[in-house]
Structure 1
Amino acid sequence: MAGLYYEQLEPGLVVEHAIRRTVTEMDNTLYSALTYNCAPLHIDAEYSKDSIFGQRIVNSMFLLGLVTGVTVIDTTIGTTLGNLGFEEIKFPKPVFHGDTIRVTTEILDRRESKKREDSGIVFFKHVAYNQRDEIVCEMKRAGLMLKRAWVESQRKQA
């Protein structure tokens, strides 16, 4: 299992994710179409020429999903029971077609689950940068993470 368990996600841990992703026009257009987001800033090149950006911008919800997805292999694949929510989501700079996104994750805090003995809640901060090292997305996220001790106790019982 590549993901980290609750016990390994200690506050202060910072992960520089190796996966980077160049965002394409197809990504933006397809995501906007699939989600019925017909905002001209995402899909209309002529309209966007006269916008404050001078071109189309990438759908921020696509970026939110991409940033979260990039983090999965290094942090939560196979060790998460679920995403509990996002907060303080910010998009300080726009993303354009052709921008390459990289992501860092910091573990802010964690606590035992009050309802489940197999897991705890971990609070993540994800920050995404473009190729110019400008921050393009920041968010805090909570995840329900498996405890290694619980998984190992289950294996012994089996």
Structure 2
Amino acid sequence: MTVENTGRCFEDYTAGQVIEHPLGRTITQNDNIWFTLLTNNTNPIHFDAHYAAHTEFGRPLVNSCLTIALVTGLSVSDMSRNAVNLGWDEVRIPNPLFEGDTVYARSEVLELRESRSRPTHGLLTFRTSGYNQHGQVVLEFRRTVLVYRRGHLPSVTSRPTMQERP
């Protein structure tokens, strides 16, 4: 199997490496309202267009927790498919994200080190930036993950067989 279908292992990263994540995601009004209500966020700037129209932004802002979740999700296939999150640090939101915007992501590897307590893993720290269709950065964060070393990925030896219809 290749990196494309199994994900990267610790040995597949180098300090300074920059990865442009392949997918973008357009944020809809429904995405923003559902996420905001699902998480019990009562700030009307996310779900009340009339209220938001009277703010300096003039329209609803995308919930910042949704922005973090989406940008993280855009990076998973390249950065943490074979990893466990240890933390997000230095989260910054330099520009707003609005309903109808498309968000993209890129990551830069900052640090790598072998795990002292888990010889089957390494620690990977990287900076991920989310940016909109105009190239404006809407989110930046550092993330540290515990990533499997090559040869130590969980082994799924078989895939269930689909039963044929009679």
TM-score normalised by structure 1 residue count? 0.91
1:2 positional shift: 3.0
1:53 positional shift: 0.4
Letter in 2 for 1:116: R
Q: Which residue of 1 aligns with 2:94?
A: 92
1:134 aligns with 2:136: yes
1:137-156 to structure 2, matched below 5 A, reads 137-151=139-153
Deviations 1:51-74 (A, max 9, x none): 010111000000000000001112
Q: Which residue of 1 aligns with 2:103?
A: 101
Q: Which residue of 2 aligns with 1:40?
A: 44
1:114 positional shift: 1.5
Percent identity of equivalent pairs: 37
Query: Is the Cα–Cα contact under 8 Å of residues 6 and 147 in structure 1 kept in the other structure?
Result: yes
Q: Which residue of 1 aligns with 2:71?
A: 67
Structure with the larger helix share: 1
Q: Which residue of 1 aligns with 2:20?
A: 16
1:20 positional shift: 0.3
* Runs (5+) with no aligned partner, structure 1: none
- 1-structure distance, mates of 2:23, 2:117: 34
- 1-structure distance, mates of 2:80, 2:68: 16
Segments of 4+ moved more than 6 angstroms:
none
Q: Which residue of 1 aligns with 2:163?
A: none
- 1-structure distance, mates of 2:123, 2:42: 36
TM-score normalised by structure 2 residue count? 0.87
